[in-house]
């Protein structure tokens, strides 16, 4: 039985148990299989869409849109920024597009849609990691998992504040794969009779927290992100 998002779990074990996913080593994201197979315990995107009136959370992005969306990076950093394989992205199962720089593993990137426009931020992971053998929680998807799967990421604030050295930091899934983790279905129970609806609720909360996180980088006040 796959664990719910309130339990700590090892995503490598989930990958092994499902035996149909694959690792994209370029940007360290667990992708759904290419053929039309639904992994056991993984939310069918069509089933989720049926109870999700908002449809896709991330519209397809182009290379130029991603580069233009970056709000806290220099022109040189944006020009050198490596991009993930966009043709492999299943946009209907994403609240944000996140990837790790394969050449600089401590650097990550996150792009999401806000009011019809993409907002992108450059992240930097702390060099140190938490002690092994304990659990940690991602502040965006609120999933408890082994500590090595969560890292402290910081982001320079946009504009002059960032140039002055101000930044925002929070704990996020080390591979920036929150959208995949929240779609691991909880077991059916009397309290959770419709697992797909649970996934939609998680997606709403994830998107709200991502929006609040990037708003803080932009220096914009938002409502509480729960």
- CB 164: neighbour CB atoms within 10 A? 9
Spatial distance between the Cα atoms of 95 and 127, rounded to a whole number of angstroms: 27
- What's the domain range around 51? 11-218
Cα distances (Å, whole numbers) of residue 28 to 4, 57, 81, 100, 113: 22, 21, 16, 7, 22
**Residue for token pair 């990837």:** 99
The answer to whether residue 223 is domain-embedded is no
Helices and strands of the chain, counted as H and E runs: 7, 9
Spatial distance between the Cα atoms of 148 and 143, rounded to a whole number of angstroms: 13
The answer to whether residue 28 is domain-embedded is yes
Please give the tally of structural domains in the chain: 1
For the segment 31-70, what is each residue's pLDDT rounded down to a tens digit? Answer: 332 222 233 344 444 443 333 333 347 889 999 999 999 9
Residue 22 has pLDDT above 60, yes or no: no
The answer to whether residue 225 is domain-embedded is no
Spatial distance between the Cα atoms of 140 and 204, rounded to a whole number of angstroms: 11
The answer to whether residue 226 is domain-embedded is no
Give the helix/strand (H/E) hosting 120.
strand 117-125
Angle, vertex CA 74, rays to CA 70 and CA 78, nearest 5: 55
User: Are the CB atoms for 140 and 62 separated by under 8 Å?
Assistant: no
The answer to whether residue 4 is domain-embedded is no
The answer to whether residue 3 is domain-embedded is no
The answer to whether residue 20 is domain-embedded is yes
For the segment 77-101, what is each residue's pLDDT rounded down to a tens digit? Answer: 999 999 999 999 999 899 999 999 9
| pTM score | 0.73
């Amino acid at each position: 039985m796959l664990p719910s998002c309130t339990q700590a779990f090892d995503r490598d074990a989930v990958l092994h148990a499902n035996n149909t996913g694959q690792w994209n080593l370029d940007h360290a994201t667990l992708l759904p299989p290419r053929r039309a197979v639904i992994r056991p315990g993984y939310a069918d995107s069509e089933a989720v869409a049926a109870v999700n009136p908002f449809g896709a959370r991330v519209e397809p992005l182009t290379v130029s849109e991603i580069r233009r969306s970056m709000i806290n990076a220099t022109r040189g950093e944006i020009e050198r920024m490596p991009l993930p394989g966009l043709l492999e992205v299943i946009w209907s199962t994403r609240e944000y597009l996140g990837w790790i720089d394969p050449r600089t593993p401590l650097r990550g990137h996150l792009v999401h849609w806000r009011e019809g426009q993409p907002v992108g931020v450059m992240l930097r992971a702390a060099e140190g990691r938490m002690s092994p053998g304990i659990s940690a929680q991602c502040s965006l998807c609120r999933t408890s998992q082994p500590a090595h799967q969560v890292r402290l990421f910081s982001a320079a604030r946009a504009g002059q504040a960032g140039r002055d050295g101000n930044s925002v930091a929070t704990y996020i899934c080390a591979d920036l794969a929150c959208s995949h983790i929240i779609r691991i279905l909880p077991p059916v129970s009397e309290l959770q009779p419709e697992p797909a609806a649970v996934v939609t609720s998680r997606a709403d909360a994830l998107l709200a927290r991502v929006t609040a996180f990037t708003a803080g980088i932009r220096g914009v006040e938002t409502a509480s992100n729960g």
